[in-house]
Structure 1
Amino acid sequence: MTTNQSTEPSPGHILQMGTGFWASKVLLTAVEFDLFTLLADSNPLTAAQLKQKLNLHCSDRNMYDFLDTLTGFGFLNRTGILETAAYSNTPDTDLFLDLKKPTYVGGMLKMLNNRLYGFWGTLEEGLRTGKPQNEAKHGENLFDAIYKSPEQLESFMNAMTGIQIGAFMAFAQKFDFSKYKTLTDAGGSSGLLSTVVANHQAHMSCVSMDLPGVTAIAEKTIAKAGLNGRVKAVSGDFFNDAFPAADMVVMGNILHDWDEEQKLSLMKSAYAALPKGGVFVAIENVIDDDRKTNVFGLMMSLNMLIETGTGFDYTFADFTRWAQLVGFSSTSLLPLVGPTSAAIALK
């Protein structure tokens, strides 16, 4: 009788996960170097050429190891080996990690490298204390800390664009907008969701609402998209100001920032801004109800511990319970892309 090797205990998966930060740091370093942008401009390049252009002073063997690791992960293509190797982007890295392309998602990866990589190093402290592990660690409000620095705010906006653009594009194409004409994006950040929806749905008019420091950034996004006629940015604090009335109120990666009481407060504000038949939509990494499959959603929820201390991601069952408490008549879930879904509540 043969033994099924796949059922025998093995440390392989444990060690793979334990060293996972090695893999992460290799990719994040390449993005920090703008390696993929360089290759998009001068494809292909040898290790020696890349080493010179990036002004790196490691040994040749270190450079081969770095580039070949990226190749092994599927982020680079390679012809030849060692001294004769020439490296080029894959279709994915060429499209999504070239800084000069509008599809660039590297802003999020740069924030992971420059902010969250270090903060996640104290996850143990976060779990022990229940306190955030970021700029707000000593009592300062996270968003106050981010918004007071123009450089940090720009980095944060770029990160949000990178992590959200795929889901927003999927939402703009998959959701049935035929019954609606107006949309308010509460916590609209750079105005990305509003411009994406308006681009894909010619009958929609959108308002992007966020704090005053963000409005100017959203206005630039709207002007660049040529949508000044159908999309506008307005200033407002969504805990203190009424949401602009609309057929739809959408929040992209907003609800998970807050505790349950604040989540309910935001949903009540959305409900008040909607007519009968209107919808509230939360676009997030909605965790599966069994809490087993959407591991990214679970890790994002831990990230909310790191970032806010009290925020958390949630299941569709959680969302439905809150929607019922607020007064919405029904809920539904629309899968978007990857771990992201749109949780929908009908008034």
Structure 2
Amino acid sequence: MSSRNPERPAATAEYLPLAFGFALHQIGATVASLGVLDAVAGGPRTADQLIESTGAHPRSLRRLLYAAVKAGILGEEGGGYRATPVAAHFGPLSDMHAAPPVWRAWEVLEESVRTGRSAFDIANGAPLFDHFEKDPELAAVFHAAMTAGSDVQYPAIVEHFDFSRFRHVVDVGGGRGTLLAAVLGADAALRGTVFDTANGVVETAGVLAEAKVDDRCDIAVGSFFESVPEGGDVYLLKNILHDWNDEECVRILSNIRAVLPPGGRVVVFTSVLSEGGDEEDPAEALGAAISDIEMLVMTTGRERTLTEYRALFAGAGLELTSTTPLPCPYLYQALEAAPVAS
């Protein structure tokens, strides 16, 4: 019997999210981009009120609202519409996934799998981070999405990873500085440095000032493929290595190893794919697997297993010394590495 014709047909609840996941995403993304979710943030709003506030075509918006209720993004209350908990996942992250260059990339996933090339590069004629130079609007959407996607991770990192052992934290590829602001805000004895490209640190000074840690934190500009700032005793890589292939990751780690003092540490915050025999939550494992495919689509990188991370560290003269599971989505962990003893 063909594998495409199983004995038991798939139920609607089983196939619908898979066959029409793209449509469900766009329903939520459009509800967000039209301003519906902002409008209902203060309480339920009627369809007429939402038509007025969004300026959308009345009948079309009513159809969208109906679909959003059926999808579980909106609920109905007192003759109006309200946001559900799922709606919180539609915002900057869905804005990025709805952007035309990103949709074009997912369109050519098959070619990416056949060739091993980044789908974004195939579809848009340049790698993602190079594309930002000519598309500042997408760059802004991307950085906003990364910040929003990390908001649930910062509290877990600060609470469950011990930074008190260190004196100076360098966040490599730290972008807007939100992680380091949270870390320094939780420990008044720490100093820090946010290191990223000029494009990445456009808003960093304001973020640090708002968090009232700018007097203890510097901003350094450069490429981690060339070098990283000296002076830290712990170097953070949060959601960085999964953007790059093995050779590129070893180069980044080697540049950190070159300035790491005795007793210094490298800490990688990342999803870790499960290996054979690992106990796993199916939904969390699926989330990590989807993230891995997104790396194939968007970058030269991938999500990795713990064994694969050990190999990356070893290639840069480092060894994995401890792992700390974090209460974040998609099998998220803190991987701590130290220089290999000579």
Q: TM-score range by the shorter chain?
A: 0.7 to 0.9
Residue aligning to 1:256: 242
Supply the distance in 2 between the matched residues of 1:234 and 1:9 (Cα, whole angstroms).
59
Please say which of residues 279-288 and 12-21 is displaced more in the overlay: 12-21
TM-score (norm 1): 0.84
Give the root-mean-square deviation of aligned CA atoms: 2.5
Deviating above 6 A after TM superposition, structure 1's stretches of 4 or more consecutive aligned residues are none
**Aligned AA (2:139):** L
Aligned counterparts, 1:49-64, within 5 A: 49-59=49-59, 63-64=61-62
- 1:73-98: per-residue Cα shift (whole Å, max 9, x none)? 44333225xxxx211234664xx47x
Residue aligning to 1:87: 81
Corresponding residue SS for 2:38:
helix
Is 1:237 matched with 2:223? yes
Paired residue for 2:294, among 293, 299, 303? 303
Return the offset for 1:130.
2.4
Residue aligning to 1:67: 65
Paired residue for 1:321, among 311, 316, 331? 311
Equivalent residues of 1:131, 1:137 under 8 A apart: no
Corresponding residue SS for 2:152:
helix
Supply the distance in 2 between the matched residues of 1:332 and 1:72 (Cα, whole angstroms).
45
TM-score (norm 2): 0.85
Is 1:287 matched with 2:278? no
Equivalent residues of 1:264, 1:322 under 8 A apart: yes
Change in 2 beyond 3 A, CA 1:242/1:91: closer
Return the offset for 1:193.
1.3
Structure 1 stretches of 5 or more lacking a match? 1-6, 98-104
Structure 2 stretches of 5 or more lacking a match? 1-5
Change in 2 beyond 3 A, CA 1:224/1:136: farther
Return the offset for 1:65.
4.4
Residue aligning to 2:75: 77
Equivalent residues of 2:325, 2:333 under 8 A apart: yes
Supply the distance in 2 between the matched residues of 1:109 and 1:295 (Cα, whole angstroms).
18
**Aligned AA (2:142):** F
- 1:263-310: per-residue Cα shift (whole Å, max 9, x none)? 1111122222322332211122221123985222222222122222x3
Supply the distance in 2 between the matched residues of 1:241 and 1:28 (Cα, whole angstroms).
39
Return the offset for 1:174.
0.9
Residue aligning to 2:3: none
Supply the distance in 2 between the matched residues of 1:188 and 1:243 (Cα, whole angstroms).
13
Residue aligning to 1:107: 92
Residue aligning to 1:343: 335
Equivalent residues of 1:136, 1:142 under 8 A apart: no
Is 1:36 matched with 2:37? yes
Supply the distance in 1 between the matched residues of 2:319 and 2:56 (Cα, whole angstroms).
60
**Aligned AA (1:237):** S
Equivalent residues of 2:227, 2:256 under 8 A apart: no
